[in-house]
Chains A and B, each alone.
Chain A
Amino acid sequence: MLPDFPKIKEKFREAINRYLQDVVRQESLLSQFRQERHFEGNKMSSKTEERGLEESSYKEMSVEYSINREDVIMKGPMAFIENIQNVAEDIKKQQANFMLDKLKEVTDRTGQVVDGKGQPFTHELFMEVLERIQIDFDEQGNPYLPTVFVPPEMAAILKEKIPEWEANPEYEKRFEELIERKRKEWNDRESHRKLVD
């Protein structure tokens, strides 16, 4: 073989890998989810009082890409970095789809789906969505308001509408009433968190 530089390459590999992970995690949807590394095992399980024991397996996500030798020769690690954006986009898409599928699976099962039936997104519909969500509060009673995932076109509409809704005293009142109801529900839930005889 010709002389190689394995240690230097290892550093590049690590740096590129870390860069890829950072780019993927910057995605607005994925950045909302926490990541945790599992060191062993081939499945996951969870147990809740409502649904009992549920098992699931891991899903592999991968992207294949190729870089021509000329590019490697001329650009070195930059050839990979230039491609990383495409790789990251692909991984983001896979992860985001997986997350949305999972969310859909859960919301379908728990009956938290609001069907807009093709009608415009109104304040009524927005309130209905919030009604179905469990909201937690901090020790001072401030709500941890949920993050809303919507398609880009919907985001543009909401961006326009939310300030309008906030300026409307009637809507504002309805929102405050909803938060108050949610606060009561939270207090009720919390009051059940106790050690009894």
Chain B
Amino acid sequence: MIERAIENWLTNTNERNYQVAFCQVLLKKGHKVIYVSSHRPMEQGKDIVTIDSNGGYCAYQLKTGKIDLKEWRKISGQVRELIELPIVHPSVDKTKVHKSFLVTNGEIIDEVRIQIDQINEDNQRKGRGYSYLEIINGQTLLKEFIDAQGKFIPQELKDFDLFLKLFLADGTDFLPKDKYFSFFNNTVFKDTPGQKSDAINAISGSIIITTYLLNPYQIRKNYYALFEAWTSLAACIVRYAQRTGLRKEDWIDSFNLAVSEIVRNLLLLKDETLKRKDFLEGDSLGDGWLVYRARATIVFGALATLELYRHKTDKEYIQDNRLLELIKSNINMLWLWGESALPHFFGLIKYLELCGEYEVARSLLNALFLGVISSNAPRVSVSLANPYYSVNAVLEAVLEAMLGIDIEKIDFSQFSGSSYTLEAIISMIARRNEKELLKKNWRQLSHIAFKEFKPDKVEDTFAWLTREGSNHVELPKATQSWAELVKEANDLNGVPDLYLQYSDLLRFFILVCPHRTNKLVIRALDTNH
């Protein structure tokens, strides 16, 4: 059954969507992946470059569907680049000839195979020093993927049901994150095996499973849901690696593949966003107003976070003014629907600061702060929902109450007098030396209790929910020293190493799991380290 699912996905998907699974197959065979093309056109005919277990260089060009003579003629220029041009990469010795592979998820007809044989023979006979071209077709890929997935198939019926629900989703909604985390934690990452190799196989298997499990979202080009899925998987991998005590070198390559998919999908989301005249989506009945503003906030927050990531990881990063202008011109569309919006606002504030738009960033942070302290003051009847309530839950409650369809599902008065995000926001303001803003509002904010969930194990920060931990509440100090506040806000000593080590993932993770945002996470991401 699972094999049929993989086959069905593989025959209907495109090269961009099976690329990461193929990389994982290569990693499992002992290759070191040194280059994976992003969503841009490939460079010099090479989508993937690896160094195999014997130290040989390998270059792969990935295609979709059947390669007949007509298709072959169409791609022959790219194939020539693949075999003739050397690999340009700092880790590659250009004097050595690489091996070339033409990969497709369909079949390669015999006439094309014969032509490839002739090209290889001719190049060898004439001593051209070009690379030898090998082919990998859909049948070979299918076998490789099934082998790489290993034994990690749902054993329990309820997990199988979960698998089917995810695999057969219509792909237009957000990722059902609770189900997704449950699926992985009940199957692939359920056990902490005694054998190190089993734990490593679990991680590599998870990449393959995710690739085809996301088929409905790939078909719909639902890049935000795909971003959510790869981010969740990367988080599951970090947590599992900590639990099993694996050495980083045993799993980091698989983790990096997941991160590359996070980035790729956000880049695709960015391309689409920049092309749009407005941000309406799907059926316009029910769209607009709060739905529209929620969408804008989510998308801009995610894209701002992407830019922050790229700035940190890419030395040649160039600021994208198109995105900056789009965000600035839509700044009034942003909507603080609840405390689960904080990570999106945080990303936007940091991005605006990165672009030198300090005044806009400052007013956004001030608005966020004043919004939280006024909405969540004691005895307010409609407060901001805590970060456990998603934008969907808030929208549903608001719209149902407005239309009188049902009784309100969320009692918004329960959130008054407390906040999960206020302490982090205060720290952000303190780090920016905005003493007057806090001084003016300290009396008011000191009535609002700081809330936080503290997991017993730090790696459970990367879990969707965990049973082991404490729901903590603490009132701000009535009389607070500014000097102490600033000192604490900048002190990284209290921040767990895990947060600092995986801060790049954490940046994306809090967008996906906003209830994991707390003052220490924000401190790790807000301070330069």
Whether the Cβ atoms of B468 and A42 lie closer than 8 Å is yes
Which residues from B are CB-within-8-Å of A49? 475, 477-478
Whether the Cβ atoms of A195 and B411 lie closer than 8 Å is no
> Which residues of chain A in 18-57 are interfacial with respect to chain B, using CB atoms and an 8 Å cutoff?
34-49, 55
Whether the Cβ atoms of B481 and A197 lie closer than 8 Å is yes
With A195-B485, A196-B481 known as contacts, the answer to whether A45 contacts B467 (CB < 8 A) is no
Whether the Cβ atoms of B467 and A195 lie closer than 8 Å is no
Whether the Cβ atoms of A189 and B472 lie closer than 8 Å is no
Which residues from B are CB-within-8-Å of A195? 435, 438-439, 442, 480-482, 485
Distance in angstroms from B185 CB to nearest chain A CB is 13
B195 at the A interface (CB under 8 A): no
With A39-B515, A190-B443, A195-B438 known as contacts, the answer to whether A45 contacts B471 (CB < 8 A) is yes
Task: Pick from A34, A45, A189, A190: contact of B414, CB below 8 A.
Answer: A34
Whether the Cβ atoms of A40 and B439 lie closer than 8 Å is no
Q: List 21 A-B contacts (CB under 8 A).
A: A34-B413, A36-B414, A37-B388, A39-B465, A39-B515, A40-B453, A40-B466, A40-B467, A40-B471, A41-B453, A44-B472, A45-B471, A49-B475, A194-B479, A195-B438, A195-B442, A195-B480, A195-B481, A195-B482, A196-B480, A196-B481
A42 to B466, CA, bound (A): 9
Instruction: Name the residue on A nearest B450 (C-beta).
Output: A47
Task: Pick from A38, A40, A193: contact of B478, CB below 8 A.
Answer: A193
Q: Please give 5 more A-B residue pairs, beta carbons under 8 A apart, in addition to A41-B453, A195-B439.
A: A43-B470, A49-B475, A194-B480, A196-B481, A197-B483
Where chain B touches its partner, the secondary structure class is mixed
A59 at the B interface (CB under 8 A): no
Which residues from B are CB-within-8-Å of A37? 388
Which residues from B are CB-within-8-Å of A46? 472-474
From A40, A44, A189, A192, name the one whose CB has the most chain B CB atoms within 10 angstroms: A40
Instruction: Name the residue on A nearest B449 (C-beta).
Output: A46
From B388, B470, B483, name the one whose CB has the most chain A CB atoms within 10 angstroms: B470
Whether the Cβ atoms of A45 and B473 lie closer than 8 Å is yes
Range for the number of chain A residues in contact with chain B? 20 to 34
Whether the Cβ atoms of B471 and A194 lie closer than 8 Å is no
Give A114-145 as 1s and 0s: 1 = Cβ < 8 Å from B's Cβ atoms. Answer: 00000000000000000000000000000010
Instruction: Name the residue on A nearest B466 (C-beta).
Output: A40
Whether the Cβ atoms of A194 and B442 lie closer than 8 Å is yes
Whether the Cβ atoms of A40 and B474 lie closer than 8 Å is no
Whether the Cβ atoms of B515 and A193 lie closer than 8 Å is no
With A192-B479, A196-B481, A196-B482 known as contacts, the answer to whether A41 contacts B468 (CB < 8 A) is yes
A46 to B295, CA, bound (A): 36
Distance in angstroms from B439 CB to nearest chain A CB is 4
B496 at the A interface (CB under 8 A): no
Distance in angstroms from A135 CB to nearest chain B CB is 14
B113 at the A interface (CB under 8 A): no
With A34-B414, A41-B466, A44-B471 known as contacts, the answer to whether A189 contacts B482 (CB < 8 A) is no
Give A158-191 as 1s and 0s: 1 = Cβ < 8 Å from B's Cβ atoms. Answer: 0000000000000000000000000000000110
With A40-B469, A41-B468, A47-B472 known as contacts, the answer to whether A193 contacts B443 (CB < 8 A) is yes
Give B400-443 as 1s and 0s: 1 = Cβ < 8 Å from A's Cβ atoms. Answer: 00000000000101110000000000000000000100110011
Instruction: Name the residue on A nearest B414 (C-beta).
Output: A36
Task: Pick from B415, B443, B467, B470: contact of A44, CB below 8 A.
Answer: B470
A49 to B476, CA, bound (A): 9
A192 to B438, CA, bound (A): 14
Whether the Cβ atoms of A189 and B474 lie closer than 8 Å is no
Whether the Cβ atoms of A39 and B442 lie closer than 8 Å is no
